[in-house]
Structure 1
Amino acid sequence: MGREAVATNGAGSRARPHAVVIPFPLQGHVIPAVHLALRLAERGFAVTFVNTESVHHQTTRALGVHPVGYDIFAGALASSSSSSEDQELDVRYELISDGFPLGFDRSLNHDQYMEGVLHVLPAHVEELLRRVVADPATTCLVVDTFFVWPATLARKLGVPYVSFWTEPALIFSLYYHMDLLTKHGHFKCEEPRKDTITYIPGVPAIEPCELMSYLQETDTTSVVHRIIFKSFEEARGADYILCNTVEELEPSTIAALRAEKPFYAVGPIFPAGFARSAVATSMWAESDCSRWLDAQPAGSVLYISFGSYAHVTKQELHEIAGGVLASGARFLWVLRPDIVSSDDPDPLPEGFLAAAAGRGIVVQWCCQVEVLTHAAVGGFLTHCGWNSILESVWAGVPMLCFPLLTDQLTNRRLVAREWGAGVSVGDRGAVRADEVRARIEGVMGGEEGVKLREQVRKLRGTLEAAVAPGGSSRRNFDEFVDELKRRCGGH
């Protein structure tokens, strides 16, 4: 299977509480899990971080380093041991197989890959846990909510299960209450009701079209549905839920969830100083866009990225490209090679790059944090992934929302309807160049953009206050750590 473990600073770690951190094997889940692992290590936990071999190989390929023996945490650990902190960080890095060969195209064969995550991966995880959980009395599992095995395996091993939720509390609550949606005829029926949903605890009225894509589909037999159903069965058996959100952004939803389970809002979980991460997490080689951005006027560049996972159709891409061109805005467009399909690496309209020469560049990937915080960037055309939203708010950049899949539709509701920090630019299959152009012009140059920027600035203040000493996320994390140390004290 080719597993490898890189032990770092094993000395004296026996006495420490041990957290086994396992992210879901997708880019948007790995990033916050890495930074959560570092936070736990900083608070005295011995951490075992578990990546799949596939994610590890993609990350090392992006870096241009040899995968065998490479520890993504090496840089962060080296800088911690050279600083004057009381203790060195103790993070061991482990790899497991996801059941597929490394050369298997997980993007092109999405459903087959997910069947493996559902049926094959759990056995590899159990084998690994039986090896690394030396003392159940001092160990806890900190595992992505979307896995289908954590509560079951935690019970088998006799350790607590911390469910790590990388999306807003609103999304967690909607999935947690799928039974209510089903009972009221808004889900799992041939013709779901179209009226406003008002009965989810702690969730203000929400429209059916604002639900996650999987809750809008009438065929609920897909592999992703099976994963969601099983993972939320497991979530009911979680001892604690840790959520990458901020209490002040979703107060009523979080209060209602807290009545069900110990629920800690500890976001935003970013790299230290909101800078380039000291841990390698990017699964694509990053282009350095700083020189190009340095040459652009302040606030003039529209940053465009549809994230690391979902696909768009060629038609949608062409409409968006047409709107971008017609707007006359400067732009930096991140277009990963498989955005339409691994079989179509060049999906932009013919002549687009020539027409945009001088005012726009297209790259395969970049360090998003560095781009969003650059003074030249004035707007973000985004798929509304949760990491992207939190990063955009922290950088003070208003959003143009084009959600593609899963939580992104519901995230747009938060951004555009509840917070007033962005605008919608259409929907799947219903995005038109003229609307894209009008929205870009409004956000980048119009009165609308001024209002949005003001609103994003306020939200940024909320995030900053939450993570500052005495802030809600800082307090919640302290409480969580104290509780977990009590639970994993080995007594």
Structure 2
Amino acid sequence: MVTPKKPHVAIFAFPFGGHAAPLLSLSRQLATNAADASFSFFCTPKSNGFLSSIATASGPLPNLKFYDVSDGLLGNLPEEVELFMKATPGNFANALEGVVKEMGEVTCLLTDSFLWFAGHMAEERDVPWVTFWVSGARSLAAHFYTELFRKKIGTGPDVLATRHEEPLDFVPGFFVLRVGDLPEGVVFGDLDSFFPRLLHRMGEESARATAVVLKTFDGLDSTILTDLRSKFRSCLAVGPLNLISPLLSEDSHACLTWLDRFAHNPASIAYVGFGTVMRLTPAQVAALAEGLESSGVPFIWSLKAREGLPAGFLEQTAGRGLVVPWAPQSMVLGHVAVGVHVTHGGWNSVMESIAGTVPMICYPTLADQKLNTRLVSHAWRIGVEVDGGVLTRDGVVRSIELVLRKDEGRVMRERACKLRELGKESVENGSSVENFTKLLGILVPGG
């Protein structure tokens, strides 16, 4: 065994959805602030290929290196997630052993919270385990308090229908949330399926971590963070990460250049993006397209599969509409011309919208999206759920009209601006700076 000459942090990333990029962002910030430490970033070859290109665009760091782990013979979502998890922890353990021979023994494990098994690996190596939760504090609390929710609310096929509107005010920070806003698998849905079991175990194991790191900031989530700090050994909110360590993306479809044409008319463009996992049905694509066309507003739409677009839609919206397979979302949302984000309500998108002071129109379908949407619309009041809760032409038109052309939308933007300023303050000289310093002290003692 090689004797370590300097701190060596092994980072285990979860390669699906919006998980790996935020962990890379945090890792880059850590590597920048601890130049004498080594950071080994482990993920699947496909994910690493994408992430390393982003890292190169953002500026290479000599002490941050990428290493591949087996992907478990991936198939199609959601089966590929289950196959990947079945390959753990062996795939990470095998890859780590090879790196240890090259770099020296690890001194700390920093992992995505989904990879709860890393806590046992850290114990075996007698090193700290730091877990990184990529979503909001309340969604983590939903899984930490699963047993409490099941005891108070019950479970079964009728829970969602009969108790949807009941408040969750018996948990700190949940005062605006309802039973129906909880992620599926907590008290309703198939509680014994793969994801609910994974998230339940993750919530339980998080309490064993040396520290739990969250991608939020105290000014946004103070009540629930105070509660979690009484439950975890250390709970560190270090966001908004996109304000302290933004990842630069190649604008391969010239979205920013297209937006520059509308810079003279601030907050006039609708940006439509539903993340990396969610796929709209052809009927939903058609309804959204019809709503965008009928609204008359200029728009950018990040859309991988164009099945469902009405005949003639692209031609009829040419000049005021840009449909691309991928857009550099955080940079688009930071453009002065963008005035509303039509989104699924994922946490990455919520935080990027706040950073860009862009109100949201949310169409949530899974995971924490309904919970986030309720916070956006009722707690922070910086957006709305799509009118009627379903994607229809008229509902899209009414929602866009509200946010872009009425006083309510102007007030939403003002609130988003205030939240951004709170976030900016937290990462410049506030709580997130203090928490990041504590995190760095755990990962790189004396660094």
Deviations, residues 218-242 of structure 1 (Å, cap 9, x unaligned): 2122222232123223323212100
**Equivalent residue, structure 2, for 1:311:** 279
Aligned residue for 2:97, secondary structure, equals helix
**Equivalent residue, structure 1, for 2:393:** 433
Asked if 1:289 is matched to 2:255, the reply is yes
Q: Could you tell me which amino acid in structure 2 is paired with residue 315 of structure 1?
A: A
Deviations, residues 177-215 of structure 1 (Å, cap 9, x unaligned): 0000111134x4232261222222443252012112343
Asked if 1:395 is matched to 2:348, the reply is no
Question: Residues 161 and 239 of structure 1 are in contact (CA less than 8 Å); yes or no, is this contact kept in structure 2?
Answer: yes
**Equivalent residue, structure 1, for 2:382:** 421
**Equivalent residue, structure 2, for 1:147:** 115
Question: Residues 304 and 334 of structure 1 are in contact (CA less than 8 Å); yes or no, is this contact kept in structure 2?
Answer: yes
Aligned residue for 1:213, secondary structure, equals coil
Deviation, 1:311, is 1.9
**Equivalent residue, structure 1, for 2:336:** 375
Deviation, 1:404, is 2.4
Asked if 1:250 is matched to 2:221, the reply is yes
Q: Could you tell me which amino acid in structure 2 is paired with residue 370 of structure 1?
A: M
Asked if 1:207 is matched to 2:178, the reply is yes
CA distance in 2: counterparts of 1:34 and 1:53, whole angstroms: 15
Q: TM-score, normalised to structure 1's length?
A: 0.82
Deviation, 1:298, is 2.8
Question: Residues 28 and 308 of structure 1 are in contact (CA less than 8 Å); yes or no, is this contact kept in structure 2?
Answer: yes
Alignment of 1:88-487 (within 5 A): 89-100=62-73, 106=75, 109-133=76-100, 139-186=107-154, 188-192=155-159, 194=163, 195-215=166-186, 217-261=188-232, 262-270=234-242, 274=246, 276=248, 286-296=252-262, 297-337=265-305, 345-426=306-387, 430-469=390-429, 471-486=430-445
Unaligned 5+ residue runs, structure 2? none
Asked if 1:35 is matched to 2:25, the reply is yes
Deviation, 1:369, is 2.0
Structure 1 residues 363 and 33: alpha-carbon distance in aligned structure 2, compared to 1, 3 A threshold: same
**Greater displacement, 155-164 / 173-182:** 155-164
Structure 1 residues 136 and 253: alpha-carbon distance in aligned structure 2, compared to 1, 3 A threshold: farther
Deviation, 1:354, is 2.4
CA distance in 2: counterparts of 1:350 and 1:153, whole angstroms: 55
Q: TM-score, normalised to structure 2's length?
A: 0.90
Q: 1:24 aligns with which of 14, 24, 27?
A: 14
Q: Could you tell me which amino acid in structure 2 is paired with residue 51 of structure 1?
A: C
CA distance in 1: counterparts of 2:352 and 2:309, whole angstroms: 26
Deviation, 1:75, is 5.5
Structure 1 residues 347 and 288: alpha-carbon distance in aligned structure 2, compared to 1, 3 A threshold: same
Asked if 1:47 is matched to 2:20, the reply is no
Deviation, 1:131, is 3.0
CA distance in 1: counterparts of 2:218 and 2:335, whole angstroms: 28
CA distance in 2: counterparts of 1:381 and 1:253, whole angstroms: 27
Deviation, 1:159, is 1.9
Structure 1 residues 77 and 455: alpha-carbon distance in aligned structure 2, compared to 1, 3 A threshold: closer
Q: Could you tell me which amino acid in structure 2 is paired with residue 481 of structure 1?
A: L
CA distance in 2: counterparts of 1:474 and 1:252, whole angstroms: 19
Cα RMSD after superposing both structures: 2.5
**Greater displacement, 260-269 / 146-155:** 146-155
